[in-house]
Amino acid sequence: MDDQPNLGPKVINSFELIGKRWTGLIIYVLMSGPKRFSEIHATISDLSKRMLTERMKELEDHGIVVRHVIPERPVRTEYLLTKKGTELGRILGPISQWAESWIKD
């Protein structure tokens, strides 16, 4: 019996995506509901606007986040998780519980 993990392209690509700095935190922040760009930026204080823009674009391209423009005055833009992103967020949630138990400040 072979106990080796399946490291096919889908597994490799998914770990590369969620392993990028800030990606997991952005998804974790969006688990509480839609957020404006400025709200995400304020919540993750060390994240630069340039990097947040880059990560949001990647998450949109992968179908994890959707950008929703609200046609009010002034126009508002919110980001929210897709079904795919919400499922990923549910997997990332236990990581925060693990961190609270095992990671020192």
Backbone angles phi and psi of 35, in degrees to 5: -135, 150
User: What is the pLDDT averaged over residues 60-79?
Assistant: 94
What domains can be seen in the chain, in order of their start residue? 9-102 (1.10.10.10)
Please give the model's pTM, rounded to 2 decimal places.
Answer: 0.88
User: Quick one: what percent of the chain has pLDDT higher than 90?
Assistant: 81
Which residues are within 8 A (CB) of 23 and not within 5 positions of it... i.e. 6 or more apart?
Answer: 17, 55, 58, 59
3-state secondary structure of 100: helix
Residue 66 has pLDDT above 90, yes or no: yes
94 three-state secondary structure: helix
pLDDT at 1 exceeding the cut of 60? no
Sign of CA dihedral 45, 99, 15, 60: negative
